[in-house]
Amino acid sequence: MKPVRKAVLPVAGFGTRVLPATKAIPKEMMPVFDRPAIQYVVDEALEAGIEHIVFVTGRNKGAIEDYFDHAYELETTLEAKKKTDILEETVATVLPAGAASFVRQQKPLGLGHAVLCARDVVGDEPFAVLLPDVLVSAKPSCLAQMVKAYNEVGGNLVAVDEVPAERVSSYGVIDPAEAGADDRLIRMKGMVEKPPVESAPSRLKITGRYILQPEVFALLENQTPGAGGEIQLTDSMERLMADQDFHAFKFEGQDYDCGDKLLYLEAFVAMALENPKLGSAARAKIEELLKKL
């Protein structure tokens, strides 16, 4: 069983649900308290032992590549002004040489197509997919928990968490087959997108973290368009499910969806409150503001 060494981050989307903020800045670079959203996702991958991150970008996404590189003028200025703490935080965002690749998704043909664009970099080995719209607060990180589970059962893993019945119809959920000895691992037999609550096969929503085997690339290559006329990753995953094991993994932690303006606000506030240095001060500021309104 090959280890999970690479992760794919699809970052080519337009961010239409948070316009006009994303008119001039990639949605992944929008700040979530003290750092851009993409930094949280990259940190999660690195904590899980990922050695190489494949960013699948699009037009006007150069800021992402620049962010994870050295900014020599800025670093020199901070050093000259003896702003050591800020300099250390800035340099810490730089990914090691050879630890990242940037490939272009030239047309917005769907998540499955974005993952397919990373095929030549990933090669013939298992890989993780992390959706940058979703931030997960967890210790150890969500992907680190998944990698540990993968090392035990192999195959393909999908991160899930339980939602109230009244919210099931807003998400994709898994169709469970059976739970294993570890009740956090559930063998899957399918996935259902936004089912009516009365016919939903479970309340376990798909959270935007996957570990997949490389055979999915061959399926994505000939995948017919699905929902929205796009190449859907879940369609190829369901086809792969006929030949390989899939497990849903119930991670420990809290996920935050940055997909629209109010959800982005929720993620921003949550990350501010959880910040180890400024969390207490952030809480005081929020409470002060609420009293004024």
- CATH code where residue 23 lies: 3.90.550.10
* 31 prior amide bond cis, ω within 30: no
Please determine, for residue 180, whether its predicted confidence score (pLDDT) is greater than 60. Answer: no
Sequence-distant (6+) residues with CB within 8 A of 193 are 172, 227, 234
Q: In terms of Cα–Cα distance, which of 17, 58, 64, 19 is closest to 39?
A: 64
Q: What is the pLDDT of residue 9?
A: 97
Range of the domain at 51: 6-292
| Mean pLDDT calculated for residue range 39-53 | 96
In the chain, pLDDT over 90 holds for what percent of residues? Answer: 70
Please determine, for residue 181, whether its predicted confidence score (pLDDT) is greater than 80. Answer: no
- Let me know if residue 1 belongs to a domain: no
| Residue 246 near residue 188, CB atoms below 8 Å | yes
- Mean pLDDT estimate for the chain: 91
- Let me know if residue 134 belongs to a domain: yes
The model's confidence at residue 77, banded by pLDDT at 50, 70 and 90, is very high
Buried b vs exposed e over 251-262: b needs ≥16 C-beta within 10 Å? bebebbbbbeee
Please determine, for residue 23, whether its predicted confidence score (pLDDT) is greater than 90. Answer: no
| Residue 274 near residue 211, CB atoms below 8 Å | no
pTM, to two decimals: 0.92
The number of domains in the chain is 1
- Let me know if residue 282 belongs to a domain: yes
| Mean pLDDT calculated for residue range 219-232 | 87
Highest mean pLDDT among 64-68, 165-169, 174-178, 197-201 belongs to 64-68
| Residue pLDDT, tens place only, 238-274 | 999 999 999 999 999 999 988 889 999 999 999 999 9
Q: What is the pLDDT of residue 24?
A: 84
Q: Is 105 left (phi over 0), alpha (psi -120 to 50) or beta?
A: beta
